[in-house]
Amino acid sequence: MKQEQKTFDQVMDVFGFRVIVGSVMQCYMALGAVHALFKPVDKRFRDFIAIPKANGYQSLHTLLFSSFGSPIEVQIRTEEMDQVAERGIAAHWLYKTPVQSRAQNWLTGLVESQKEAGSSQEFLDNVKIDLFPDEVYLFSPKGDILSLPRNATALDYAYAVHTKVGDHAVAARVDKKLAPLRTRLNSGQTVEIITAPSATPSPSWLDWVVSSRARTEDLLAEVALGNRMALQVAQALARTVDGRVLEPHVGNAEKILITGAERGVLNFPDCCLPVPGDDIVGYLSSGKGIVVHRTDCKNVPELRKNAERMVPIGWDRQVSGEFRSSIRIEVENKPGVLAQVAAAIAETKANIDNVEYQERDLASAVIVFLLNVRDRKHIADVIRRVRRLPVAVGVQRR
């Protein structure tokens, strides 16, 4: 109570009962019975039978409103589950159940963590993170369940899947929506990691990850300490005995579909300002993430020389939001011409973000408008509307 700065009234498990039954089915029947006696506290029910903890612990936890005003915590489990909880994961080591296999994997991870830890204190801190977290339970696209500590990010998930997946992660899909690697995850979400062969870890990743496995990766540690460059470390870890460098295999990159909700993940550069409907390519840029270019952008031929950094990308069928686009308009230099052009653009429901005179003399002027539009058709409507103005000499998209 003193350590967590809670009053006696705030402690929710003063009264606790443990119910031991004969089977898993009886666990849920007992749960229904206690919920029929007392009303359960909202959001305080945990099902560790369906989704066991990483160390093999299984039980049903519920908190009830008692008739005398104090909350009651009830734990319901089978006799075998109780033996594992009381005596540890070795209690039923001979039983080849999925839970015991998962616990064995957890022990293997502890051994690896001990080898990688720089000191005994670091190892102890990692064990505490794995043993005493408020866990989140996540699903892979195939329905597999992974448990991670509370506040885990998509990057933690990537390293939980496989070290190579984490090392080459560039973004994630959380419930089929594109999200950055620093996204905090919640229980029940389905997570998929997007990788690129040319991607390498960044020192800033250590500020995001919370799981011990992600934090103790040798590669991340070397990069974060600045001892070596990320690419050098990756190559060093991939070397075979004879000194050859092996390219890590992370699977075929699936095309990323832009929905409009990825503004923090994708970068739309000023050189070509792509909008939905344009033919586009993606480029993995250091420090900028995935940069989206129009295929006819003047910079694309140079970017294609680094083919390993090209990322398959396209537009989703339904894209929300507005995107920046720019048009260059040559007009007769007459009083009120700017107002006429602005009014024509406004009629198409396009928002004007910026206006700049690039050239101007007594007879004509060139004006560049930076606009917010929905898609390629929208910008085409703007161009057609402006061309109908008597003062417009020429209009083109930049």
**DSSP helix, strand, coil percent of the chain (3-state; round to 5):** 30, 30, 40
Predicted pLDDT at 251: 41
Which amino acid is located at 231 in the chain?
L
Whichever domain contains 184, its CATH number is 3.10.20.30
| CA pair distance 129, 106, nearest whole angstrom | 13
Does residue 205 fall inside a structural domain? yes
The predicted structure's pLDDT at residue 248: 41
CATH code for position 59: 3.30.460.10
Q: Are 304 and 284 in contact (CB under 8 A)?
A: no
Q: Which pLDDT score is estimated for 154?
A: 92
- Residue 144's CB: how many other CB atoms inside 10 A? 9
Do residue 211 and residue 298 come from a single domain? no
Whole-angstrom distance, CA of residue 321 vs CA of residue 323? 7
Residue 223's pLDDT is what? 46
Last residue of a domain, one of 238, 271, 299: 238
If asked whether residues 130 and 229 sit together in one domain, one would say: yes
Q: What is the pLDDT of residues 321-348, one digit of tens each?
A: 899 999 999 999 988 899 999 999 999 9
Kindly report the backbone phi and psi dihedral angles of residue 191, in degrees, each rounded to the nearest multiple of 5, phi listed first: -120, 135
- Answer whether residue 123 is part of any domain: yes
Q: Are residues 343 and 294 in the same domain?
A: no
Q: Are residues 302 and 360 in the same domain?
A: no
Q: Look at residue 268 in the predicted model and tell me its pLDDT.
A: 92
* Whole-structure pTM value: 0.49
- Here the CATH number for the domain that contains residue 356 is 3.30.70.260
Question: pLDDT digit string (tens) for 26-80?
Answer: 999 999 999 888 888 877 888 888 888 766 789 999 988 877 767 889 999 999 8
What range does the domain containing 295 cover?
256-315
250 part of a folded domain? no
Q: Does residue 125 sit in the same domain as residue 205?
A: yes
In order of 148, 173, 179, 213, 305, the CA distances from 185 in angstroms are 9, 11, 10, 17, 36
- Can you give the pLDDT at residue 103? 61
Q: Does 301 share its domain with 337?
A: no
Instruction: Report residues of the chain scoring pLDDT below 50.
Output: 1, 91-96, 132, 220-253
Sheet holding 392-397, edge to edge: 351-360, 364-373, 323-332, 392-397
Whether residue 378 lies inside any domain: the answer is: yes
Distance CA 193, CA 179 (A): 10
d(CA 393, CA 358): 15
Please tell me whether residues 124 and 233 are part of one structural domain.
Answer: yes
Report the domain count for the chain: 4
Query: Based on the domain organization, do 277 and 329 belong to the same domain?
Result: no
Judge whether 239 and 337 are in contact, CB under 8 Å: no
DSSP letters, 212-232, are: HHHHT-HHHHHHHHTSS-HHH
